[in-house]
């Protein structure tokens, strides 16, 4: 919370981190268009955000995340999620997107064609980590597991690994989101 003006969630931060990583590794932010047999890379990063609704999973899109700050992304996500849960999204608000963030199901993520990348986000867990400075030799840290699924017609494993490394770098160094 910033003077009670707005609250940022971990998901808001992840959407921005995904955006920064996608700008650094554009192959992750692309479509495979089979009818044209072509790969389309995007300059804009439109992040689909998975939302569980009474009628199933929807993925409303936060468009042009690369041009938005954290508070604007956060506000848009809150509004999109609220309207998704009451079935009040227009088709253009949940069809498309250039990359997907799935914080709903951490066990499996299926790519939303024609997108090439989807990220399965687990919940934050407290884990013991070695800490020589601590009295008992360990301390606790918050960690999250993120699994990337990539369409290898668009982004091969090496580029997928590069994207995941960039995402990790941004998450561990949040000032890189600014």
Question: Which positions are annotated as active-site residues?
Answer: 152, 156
Q: How far apart are CA 119 and CA 49, in angstroms?
A: 10
- HEC string of 123-154 equals CCEEEEEECCCCCCCEEEEEECCEEEEECCCC
Do residues 146 and 122 touch, judged by C-beta distance below 8 A? yes
> Do residues 62 and 77 make contact, with C-beta atoms less than 8 angstroms apart?
yes
Parallel, antiparallel or unpaired: strands 99-102 and 47-49? parallel
Report helix, strand or coil for 119.
Answer: strand
């Amino acid at each position: 919370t910033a003077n009670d003006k707005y609250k940022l969630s971990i998901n808001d931060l992840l959407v921005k981190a995904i955006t920064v990583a996608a700008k650094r590794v554009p192959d992750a932010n692309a479509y495979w268009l089979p009818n044209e047999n072509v790969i389309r890379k995007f300059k804009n990063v439109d992040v689909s955000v998975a939302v569980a609704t009474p009628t199933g999973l929807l993925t409303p899109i936060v468009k042009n995340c690369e041009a938005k700050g954290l508070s604007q992304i956060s506000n848009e996500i809150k509004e999109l999620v609220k309207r998704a849960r009451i079935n009040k999204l227009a088709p253009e608000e949940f069809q498309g997107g250039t990359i997907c963030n799935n914080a709903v199901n951490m066990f499996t993520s299926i790519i939303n064609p024609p997108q090439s990348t989807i990220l399965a986000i687990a919940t934050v867990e407290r884990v013991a980590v070695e800490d020589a400075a601590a009295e008992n030799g360990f301390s606790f840290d918050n960690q999250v597991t993120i699994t990337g699924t990539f369409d290898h017609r668009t982004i091969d494993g090496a580029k997928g690994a590069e994207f995941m490394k960039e995402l990790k770098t941004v998450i561990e160094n949040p000032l890189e989101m600014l």
